[in-house]
Amino acid sequence: MSETQDITFHSMGSDIRILIDQPLLPGAPSPAFAGARERSYVEDFGERLSRFRTQSELSALNRDPRTRVAASPLLLVALRAGLWAAEISGGLVDPTLTGALESAGYESSLDGTPPASLEQALLAAPARRPARPRPGRPWRRISVDDRNAIVCRPVGLRFDTGGTGKGLCADSVAHRLGAYTRFVVDCGGDLAIGGVGAQLEPYEIEVEHPLTGESIRSVRVAAGGVATSGLNVRLWRNQDGTYAHHLLDPASGLPAWTGLIGVTALAPSALEAETLSKMALLLGPLGARGVLKRYGGLVVHDDGDVEEIGLLENPLGLLQHRGEAA
């Protein structure tokens, strides 16, 4: 019998972990073979969609002087995922904030750079307030023509796959692992979980406190997505002494300080969990409760207090059913 495969590596500026249990059918590739295959898939995904790589497909699209640009199936799917996240979040998870991210100090990858002190950043941060969408919602001016493999958008309107790319990648790998009894795909905190074996033996997902790094909750999940968004990972100090992070208020183009420093969300997919976690963090405590109550989640306030919202468990893999019935 094949042994369970547990591989970790670094890609997309994040730590990636993939756990693969036994195959469902005799003759299926071993978990070790599947692990190597999916590692190659993730690395290729990251290289082709990174805004930090000048030769990536995303960078080529962003600098193209035409309004109609041919795109690969992967890029088309990534664009659709970002536009979907923008739509369901009402424009809070905005994929067209590339210029604002660069102005905030996120021009190049922060991979390998230790984050600034979150405690010091909170002391220096401005008054807390919920984020708001950009007037005019410019992301709605981007359209994807799958039939002709064309992206249409105004010249100069740049796209950033950002966190939605990691959620999409986790879901894609999970789909490719459907022939295995039990699996987890963790793309930098965006997790896709599944397999018939996980119904009998759910995974225990640990949630870390963004201030202390200690585990604050273990969540049992058999299927679906789990995602955590926080201010502690990509946080830096500018030359003028101000602190900034990558979660922007679309209306102002500045880092959002909303009263929350971390959010964990459950959902039917990693992409949706990623979107809900960011949306909740950007809305602040009051708005987060409404966002997370459907599937369950957890928020960490500026003062470190932890608040659980809804049913923060999915031990029976019921998220998909609950989502369809709601």
Q: Write out pLDDT tens, residues 202-252.
A: 999 999 999 999 999 999 999 999 999 999 999 999 999 999 999 999 999
pLDDT of residue 311: 81
Question: Does the pLDDT value for residue 166 go beyond 90?
Answer: yes
Helix (H, G, I), strand (E, B) or coil at 235: strand
pLDDT of residue 26: 84
User: Span 164-182, mean pLDDT?
Assistant: 96
| Residues 6 or more apart in contact with residue 216 via CB below 8 angstroms | 207, 208, 209, 298, 300, 306
Assessment of whether the complete model's pTM goes beyond 0.85 = yes
User: Span 150-178, mean pLDDT?
Assistant: 95
> Using CA atoms, how far apart are residues 173 and 176, in angstroms rounded to an integer?
5
pLDDT of residue 67: 97
pLDDT of residue 1: 42
Helix (H, G, I), strand (E, B) or coil at 61: helix
User: Span 84-104, mean pLDDT?
Assistant: 96
Q: Write out pLDDT tens, residues 58-93.
A: 999 999 999 999 999 999 999 999 999 999 999 999
pLDDT of residue 317: 63
Q: Are 249 and 101 in contact (CB under 8 A)?
A: no
> Using CA atoms, how far apart are residues 178 and 168, in angstroms rounded to an integer?
16
pLDDT of residue 322: 39
Mean pLDDT of the chain: 93
Question: Does the pLDDT value for residue 321 go beyond 80?
Answer: no
> Using CA atoms, how far apart are residues 242 and 234, in angstroms rounded to an integer?
14
| Residues 6 or more apart in contact with residue 284 via CB below 8 angstroms | 128, 129, 130, 131, 258, 259, 260
Band the pLDDT of 183: cuts 50, 70, 90.
Answer: very high
User: Span 312-318, mean pLDDT?
Assistant: 63
Give all domains of the chain, ordered by start, each with its CATH number.
5-325 (3.10.520.10)
Q: Write out pLDDT tens, residues 122-141.
A: 999 999 999 999 999 999 99
Q: Write out pLDDT tens, residues 186-198.
A: 999 999 999 999 9
